[in-house]
Structure 1
């Protein structure tokens, strides 16, 4: 491969990966054409992109971006996957596909620019997504206010119930006193 072609490929890869710090490295070389096509079409619907890469070119791009070179993951045929809601969603999706298609192998990846092995990707896939974490944080932030509100409403409800009972009792006495 000539230097000009390598430079063009590196530039294209840099453009595609741009500021991405989260992606996975897969081996889909053992998939047949139909499975490969189905996988790519389903992932495309979810905003996930697959790109077959030459390991040496990816290393150059990663070094240029100041990231680890993923030495543990970049051996043999490699396909990088990125996109989706977040790295947790991407990891979940790829872990699900790896269960469905035995030939699909998750070799590792990068999370915030740091190398993660295949076990790490599996661990990430089991964690909460960004949206779930935000929901948990909001719930924790609102919890003291909800507790205080519930306590005040509970006391207010009890007091209102007692006042109503006293008022009803007085009304009954007034009605009963006029008839006698």
Structure 2
């Protein structure tokens, strides 16, 4: 790889890292090509970018980015996963893949300017995703007016039962 190719890789990676909300570093040693392709497919379906990159190039690309806190941690065989919209999605996919493949492991990550350990990533993967949280919030918001309508419906129904009872009692008294 010559200097211009390296510069191009650094620039492309830097641009992607600046847009990413989370950057996860994995160890892929020992994985077969088919397993690696399976992982890449799963990540691509979730909108996560996954790239094997030389450590030196990764360090240079991470400089002056929100994920610069992890730039000095790159050692051995590393691959970088970048999640853009929902950081939980990337953590879930990678954690699930790590459980299925013992040779694959999560090393560390950067989220909101902080370094996360492999245990932190595992905990992050257990959280509900953005879509699930939005669904719960909308369900809660929808429940309030529904309960309000139900409450007034019960009040009106009870009032109608009382008026009906009074009507029936007057009819019996007149007869």
User: Who is 1:56 aligned against?
Assistant: 56
Distance 1:19 1:111 in 2: 12
Q: What are the residue-to-residue correspondences of 1:142-157 with 2, within 5 Å?
A: 148-157=148-157
Q: What's the C-alpha RMSD, in Å, of the aligned pairs?
A: 2.8
Deviates more, 1:85-94 or 1:2-11: 2-11
* Residue 138 of structure 1, CA deviation: 4.5
User: Who is 1:120 aligned against?
Assistant: 120
User: Who is 2:82 aligned against?
Assistant: 82
Where do 5+ consecutive residues of structure 1 fail to align?
Answer: none
Distance 2:96 2:126 in 1: 11
- Residues 3-61 of structure 1, C-alpha deviations (whole Å, 9 max, x = no match): 43332221121233342131211111220112112222233233332100122222222
* Residue 88 of structure 1, CA deviation: 0.9
SS at match of 1:128: coil
**CA gap 1:103/1:168 in 2 versus in 1, 3 angstroms:** farther
- The count of residues paired between Structure 1 and Structure 2 equals 175
User: Does the CA-based 8 Å contact 2:46-2:90 persist in structure 1?
Assistant: no
- Residues 51-89 of structure 1, C-alpha deviations (whole Å, 9 max, x = no match): 001222222222222533315752211111124751112
Q: What are the residue-to-residue correspondences of 1:22-171 with 2, within 5 Å?
A: 22-70=22-70, 73-83=73-83, 86-138=86-138, 148-170=148-170
Q: Which has the larger radius of gyration?
A: 1
Distance 1:36 1:147 in 2: 50
User: Does the CA-based 8 Å contact 1:21-1:113 persist in structure 2?
Assistant: no
User: Does the CA-based 8 Å contact 1:24-1:108 persist in structure 2?
Assistant: yes
TM-score normalized with structure 1 length: 0.79
**CA gap 1:63/1:158 in 2 versus in 1, 3 angstroms:** same
**CA gap 1:7/1:157 in 2 versus in 1, 3 angstroms:** same
